[in-house]
Amino acid sequence: MSNNALPEIFETFADARKKGFLAMKAEKDKGRNVVGTFCTYTPKELIYAANAVSVSLCSTSDETIPEAEKYLPKNLCPLIKSSYGFAITDKCPYMYFSDLIVGETTCDGKKKMYELLGEVKDTHVMQLPHTKNYYSFELWKNELNILIKKLEEKFNVKITEEKLRDAIKLFNEERTLMKEFFSLAKLVPSPVKGTELHDVMSSSSFKFDKKEFFEEIKKAIADTKAKYERGETPFTEDTPRILITGCPTGGVVNKVIKQIEEIGGSVVCIENCSGTKNHEMLVDENKDPIEAIAERYLNIPCSIMVNNDGRMERIKRYIDEYKVDGVIDVTLTACHTYAIETEKVRRTVEGCGKSYLAIETNYSNSDAPQIRTRLEAFVEML
């Protein structure tokens, strides 16, 4: 039996970014410091060990892009333009509340944007190596220690080993719960929609009471399992199962994931920087905290890494584990590293005997009808 009713608990995740403004102000009123971040390479454990909270500043709307284009080139990634636009127009409460911004030298666009952002806010940029070997590991460890010093001086705190270990346990618990939730989509048919997966995924950056957030995830897991056992699912066993990979999907979720569901597909896995792969990697609690944190974050398989074979291995594993029928690779305009990597992803997917579709888009809705036509043809083929 198919049932499209949305479990009530999912409403707490859907508007987390909007509702988080008040929660953020409450944290500020309590005296908590706020660190704005742009990337999953930011080691959140260090921020929480400094008794601060972290919040994602990646913007997902084209509202402020015209203002940003007065200073940034038009042929730049929409995520970068949107984020900078919200900073200079003071339209993002999270940017307003941030006492410090931490970025990393990931793509060229971001690292140059941070130079301009530094004129607006106190911005600390970590030098992220793009390879994985002994020398890059030592460099990255050093960057963690520099960030610790910055946080201690900025917030007049002392980051101890005990605080680091407590923060590691906290975020490992979050990752474990998120992984358990994402794994529900391995069931056939999937008991969760791709839009629900995306809401829970993106909400983690805007839930500042972690223990409360953990209870919400546990309830979402229990409610979803209960509905599945009653035979209530939004899909059937014949619904085509799709994996989304590529750039962050926050600004294109309605154009891609929602439209896939509307035309009869089921997004069962979102393999991008804030998706499945990010939450399955834990920090080793038995190692030296700095070593363990450095190791975990340097192993994130982002397209800025050379060589990035880890991403291909994950895609192959997810195709198998989530019983995927087709893969859609979403690239934001002017994201060169992900655009170049589409060729390796295509080979990987087709090597598994599955169908592949590449979509390049931005935050505008002007191409939504064209994308829908391509998605309809892809899903029908599956």
Q: What is the pLDDT of residues 303-347, one digit of tens each?
A: 999 999 999 999 999 999 999 999 999 999 999 999 999 999 999
Q: Which residue has the tokens 């900078």?
A: 84
Cα–Cα dist 379/377, whole Å: 6
pLDDT in tens, 36-95: 999 999 999 999 999 999 999 988 899 999 999 999 999 999 999 999 999 999 888 899
- What pTM was computed for the model? 0.94
What per-residue confidence (pLDDT) applies to 16?
76
pLDDT in tens, 25-37: 888 899 999 999 9
Residue 4 pLDDT grade (very low, low, confident, very high; cuts 50, 70, 90): very low
Residue 7 pLDDT grade (very low, low, confident, very high; cuts 50, 70, 90): very low
All residues at 6 or more sequence positions from 275 whose CB lies less than 8 Å from its CB, including other chains: 182, 201, 244, 269
Q: Which residue has the tokens 């002007």?
A: 366
Can you tell me whether residue 267 is helix, strand or coil? strand
Other CB atoms within 10 Å distance of the CB of residue 9: 18
HSE-up of 308 (CA within 13 Å, CB side)?
Answer: 22
Name the strand (E) or helix (H) holding 21.
helix 16-29
- CB-CB contact of 75 with 336 (8 Å): no
What per-residue confidence (pLDDT) applies to 332?
97
Written as one letter, the residue type at 205 is: S
What's the distance, CA 276 to chain centroid?
9
Q: Which residue has the tokens 């940003």?
A: 68
What per-residue confidence (pLDDT) applies to 10?
57
198: nearest Cα among 138, 141, 258? 258
Q: Which residue has the tokens 């590293």?
A: 337
User: Mean per-residue pLDDT for 258-274?
Assistant: 96
Phi, psi for 328 (deg, rounded to 5): -115, 120
The first and second tokens of residue 27, run together, are 């944290």
Can you tell me whether residue 127 is helix, strand or coil? coil
- CB-CB contact of 86 with 66 (8 Å): no
Q: Which residue has the tokens 């089921």?
A: 266
Written as one letter, the residue type at 96 is: Y
Phi, psi for 37 (deg, rounded to 5): -130, 165
Cα–Cα dist 356/104, whole Å: 31
CA dihedral 340, 346, 42, 185 (to 10 degrees): 160
- CB-CB contact of 24 with 34 (8 Å): yes
* Edge-to-edge strand list for the sheet holding 100-104: 52-56, 33-37, 100-104, 123-126
Does position 216 have pLDDT exceeding 90, yes or no? yes
